Structure formats: C-alpha cells, structure tokens
Amino acid sequence: MSDATIEITGALELAERLGVDLTPAIQAASLAIAAEAQDRIAPYPAASGRRQAFTSMKQRRGFFARLHRGQIQVPYRRSNDVLQRWKPEAQGLGAVLRNTSPHAPLVHGHDTQAAYHKGTWKTDEGVAEEIENDGTAERIAEQAITKVLDADG
C-alpha cells in the first residue's frame, strides 16, 4: 500500500516556546487521526452491481473450473476480511493505520487499486487527503494540544 500521510506541524516548536511537553498530546492526536481514517475507510460501500469482464480465456476457464468444483460461489458473498483488518498503531510521535490483509492494496491502495474497485472503494491516500482538507486533522490536533495546555496552566 502507498504511504498516505498526514503531518502535524508546528507542535514541537510551540512546545519549546511554551516550555511544555506536548508529546502526549501529539501521540494522542496521531492515534485519533488514525482512528478517524479507520472509520472512514472501513465501511463497506454499496455493491456496484457491475460485471467483471474476463481479461483472458485462461482466466475464464479458471473461473468456471473453480465454480464447478465449488471453490467459488455466484453471486459472490461479501466478507469483511479486508475491512476488519484496519488497525491504528502508535509509532513514535505518530501513528500508522495498517491493514494486514493481502487483498488490501487491491481494494484500498491508491496506486494499486484494482480497476473493478475504482470509484466504489475509498483509497488510503484519498482518505488522508479528505481528513486533511476538511480540517479534521487540524481540529483533532488543536483539541489535544489545548487539553494539555489547559491542564498545565
């Protein structure tokens, strides 16, 4: 998956000027932003209803062979495997939102998303941009820093 990032800038400089340790606030804000990203990327979109065209005769034969052996079902039954594997993790002053599913890049990767999923599933980079552009990241960081500053003085 791509490295979609949201940076909290200026907090360390502010902490130095004020003589306050903002490390806990930055860590809390980072985890809260990762949790917000998880909330936005994890919901299942509505079924597209589009047919997926075969790209080759080999793929077509493989599909029907697996269907005949009962290895796949039509219509496809959705599982929540990819969606349930999003987990925010603290990492230094920041946080990372990871997905351990091997299918995650095909579903949510900005540069690796399968053509079938484009326009239906949100991408990691798209969610990061959304959170940054709509002011959510800034609001979360401000709230965490204000909470520390109010408690400090």
**Is residue 1 one of the residues assigned to a domain?**
no
Dump pLDDT digits (tens) for 54-108.
889 999 999 899 999 998 887 766 666 777 888 999 888 889 999 888 888 988 8
**Is residue 143 one of the residues assigned to a domain?**
yes
Count of domains forming the chain: 1
Contact criterion met (CB below 8 Å) for 95 and 34:
yes
Q: Identify the helix (H) or strand (E) that includes residue 83.
A: helix 81-84
**Is residue 123 one of the residues assigned to a domain?**
yes
Mean pLDDT for the chain overall: 86
**Is residue 59 one of the residues assigned to a domain?**
yes
Contact criterion met (CB below 8 Å) for 97 and 30:
no
Dump pLDDT digits (tens) for 134-152.
999 999 999 998 888 887 6
**Is residue 57 one of the residues assigned to a domain?**
yes
**Is residue 68 one of the residues assigned to a domain?**
yes
The pTM of this model reads 0.77
DSSP letter assigned to residue 44: P
Look at the block and give the residue holding tokens 């990241």: 137
Structural domain boundaries enclosing 96: 11-152
